[in-house]
Amino acid sequence: MGNQGTIYKSTGSWYTLHDAQDAVIPARLKGKFKIEDITSTNPIAVGDEVDFEMEEGESTAIITALHPRKNYVNRVSPANKRLQHIIASNLDQSMLIATLRSPKTSMGFIDRFLVTCEAYHIPAILVFNKYDLYKEQDLAFFEDRKRVYASIGYTVLLTSVEHTIGLEECKQHMVNKTTLISGHSGVGKSSLINAIMKDANIKTQEVSDWSGKGMHTTTFAEMYDLPGAGRLIDTPGMREFAIAGIERCELAHYFPEMLQRMEGCQFNDCMHINEPGCSIKKAVVDGQIDEERYISYCTILDCIPEKEW
């Protein structure tokens, strides 16, 4: 008889799963495990629900089946551009940790992240961390971007893990949800999770165990239970966020402010670049669509190859 579990960590060939009683069990795949999605580099990802069997006479398990995923976030594999790497699955929302100082996150990166979240119907929250390092012009920039992204419908938060600013509000957005934490290396993803777990009186031993290992560079995605209900998934910092599996004609659907207006375009197949009667371009000129967001659209579009027939 099989058992059910949830994957909390994946380190290549070994996984850590939590069973229904919350026991932590190291697990791996059998050679013959059926991989349904051969275009991904990892058959099992953090957040996956699986069936497993204990290995005879061992305290380790064999994963025997993968339950259907509610959703997942992936990216082009850095090792092989034809393959995708699944970052995590069964998410309620995705939180991008960005910074305006040390290091600086580009708005293009933020928009590529948001497009991917839209494509997978995963609500996204933007968190600007390291507030304590921001100069006056950074704050003005933040306020301007907050206005733009909030008008599109995204939640935008300002935090300083270092100075404990904005963490309560951040935490409120995490309650009862499985949240993927993403962003460049060094923006404070692990620090944020650590601060939020500590505030909630997680045993200090568990916290220090974990920070000793991955505080500066998290190397594998790992999920943590929030006290009460909810889960946070820490991920390794990513340098780039290349768009995987989105077609040129779909792209505008993943810019909510464009989706909302594209019915007004004269042509059904308008790409919103140089077609006449384009309501998107008009909205950019009229200041209803942010010019930087429109530039992001054009830049991403340029990177998606034309479909081969």
Ligand X SMILES: Nc1nc2c(ncn2[C@@H]2O[C@H](COP(=O)(O)OP(=O)(O)OP(=O)(O)O)[C@@H](O)[C@H]2O)c(=O)[nH]1
Residue 96: name its binding partner from Mg ion, ligand X, Zn ion, none (Cβ under 5 to 8 Å by kind). Answer: none
Question: How far is residue 213 from each of residues 50, 190, 209, measured CA to CA in Å?
Answer: 26, 11, 7
**Which residue, among 237, 226, 158, 225, has the nearest Cα to 190 in the 3D structure?**
237
Residue 179 binding ligand X, by CB under 6 A: no
Q: Which residue number, 30 or 216, has a Cβ lying nearer to ligand X?
A: 216
Strands of the chain (E only): list them. 3-10, 14-19, 24-29, 49-54, 61-66, 72-76, 84-89, 93-99, 124-129, 155-158, 178-182, 222-225, 231-234
| Buried/exposed 102-137: b ≥16 CB within 10 Å, e otherwise | eeebebebbbbbbbbbbbbebbbbbbbbbbeebeee
Rounded to the nearest whole angstrom, what is the least distance from the CB of residue 126 to ligand X in the complex?
Answer: 15
Q: Which stretch binds ligand X (CB under 6 A): 137-145, 157-165, 196-204, 291-299?
A: 157-165
Q: Which residue number, 80 or 219, has a Cβ lying nearer to Mg ion?
A: 219
Rounded to the nearest whole angstrom, what is the least distance from the CB of residue 150 to Zn ion in the complex?
Answer: 24
Residue 252 binding Zn ion, by CB under 5 A: no
Q: Which of residues 236-295 bind ligand X (CB under 6 A)?
A: 236-237
Task: Spell out, one character per residue from 204 to 243, where the chain touches Mg ion: x when CB under 5 A holds, - when not.
Answer: --------------x-------------------------
Among 160, 178, 279, 296, binds ligand X (CB under 6 A): 160
Q: Do 123 and 94 contact (CB within 8 A), yes or no?
A: yes
**Contacting residues toward Zn ion, per CB under 5 A:** 265, 270, 272, 278, 280
